[in-house]
Amino acid sequence: MNALVEPAVSLLKQAKQVHGDALVYPCSMGLEGSVLVDMISKHGLNIPVMTLDTGRLPQATYDVITAFEARYGIRIQVLFPDCHEVEAMVREYGVNLFRKSVELRKQCCEVRKVRPLMRALEGKEAWVTGRRRQQSKGRADLQSVETDSVYGLKKYNPLLEWSLDDVWSYVKENDVPYNRLHDAHYQSIGCECCTRAITVGEDERAGRWWWENDEVAAECGLHVMSIKQVVGEIEDGEGI
Ligand code: SF4
């Protein structure tokens, strides 16, 4: 375990040293989030932890936010979408628009996730992610430190080489709070309506937007994007 923990902590320290207050950790409150919140708190790294409240989260996610705050004595910054944007979108397409088409699902993710995150990243230089190479084929080629090709925003991936078993081992050995949905065979946890449990042999992210059945579409816009993409100057963008 130490062979994985030390490089991960080292990368977090390096990121903090380089970027200082311009570094943040937008946490998805999944199992990897448990590891990173524990590392950041235990090592006194003072990296602000934030999370996105899309308005469609499962209760278990609010409960793990509360558990983190109680355990580590921190306040997690909760980001909300613009209520006027959500109202306009729902007025036009309905509350379950994400089931109607891939485009509307991406629009919902953009309004509820990507735009709030981009507002939080304004003026920042870098962010930490909990992505792991093994989570999906689409994450196989990630690097531990990446740069947004348009604006130069750095992304640090301290858990890149961790397996799911490694993550579980850390959480259990350190008695870290975690989202109880993981005990019900949920792996990648997002909005309640867009997340399901997975079965043996399925890709870890197969429980996200499963009805689309498309590897490329199984991202929400947070991790293959740029600020320009979010404001519409560039068309492509995929992404927690
Ligand atoms: S995960 Fe589903 S409900 Fe949540 S923002 Fe994306 S499309 Fe909307």
In a domain, 189, yes or no: no
Cα maximum dimension of the chain: 52
Q: How far is the CA of 136 from the centre of ligand 1 (A)?
A: 19
- Is residue 220 flagged as an active site residue? yes
In a domain, 187, yes or no: no
d(CA 81, CA 115) in angstroms, rounded, equals 7
Residue 205 binned pLDDT confidence (cut-offs 50, 70, 90):
confident
Taking CA atoms only, the protein residue closest to ligand 1 atom 3 is 191
Question: How much is the pLDDT for 132?
Answer: 92
Q: How far is the CA of 223 from the centre of ligand 1 (A)?
A: 15
In a domain, 160, yes or no: yes
In a domain, 135, yes or no: yes
pLDDT in tens, 193-204: 998 888 877 777
Q: What percent of the chain has pLDDT over 70?
A: 87
Say what the alpha-carbon torsion angle 37, 153, 109, 36 is, to the nearest 10 degrees. -10
- Domain that residue 157 falls in: 2-180
Domain total for the chain?
1
Distances (CA, A) of 127 to 80, 155, 167, 218: 18, 5, 20, 21
pLDDT above 60 (res 224): no
d(CA 116, CA 101) in angstroms, rounded, equals 22
The more confident residue out of 222 and 7 is 7
pLDDT in tens, 76-125: 999 999 999 999 999 999 999 999 999 999 999 999 999 999 898 899 99
In a domain, 194, yes or no: no
Evaluate: CB of 194 within 6 angstroms of ligand 1.
yes
Taking CA atoms only, the protein residue closest to ligand 1 atom 6 is 109
Let me know: does 89 contact 107? Beta carbons within 8 Å: yes
Evaluate: CB of 54 within 6 angstroms of ligand 1.
yes
Closest ligand 1 atom to the C-alpha of 190? 1
Question: How much is the pLDDT for 212?
Answer: 83
Neighbours of 210 (CB within 10 A): 15
Question: How much is the pLDDT for 3?
Answer: 92
Closest ligand 1 atom to the C-alpha of 112? 5
In a domain, 168, yes or no: yes
DSSP class per residue in 50-86: EEE--S---HHHHHHHHHHHHHH---PEEE---HHHH
Closest ligand 1 atom to the C-alpha of 220? 6
Q: Can you give the CATH number for the domain in which 62 is found?
A: 3.40.50.620
Lowest mean pLDDT among 48-62, 176-190, 224-238: 224-238
pLDDT in tens, 20-41: 999 999 998 999 999 999 999 9
pLDDT in tens, 143-162: 999 987 655 689 999 999 99
Evaluate: CB of 76 within 6 angstroms of ligand 1.
no
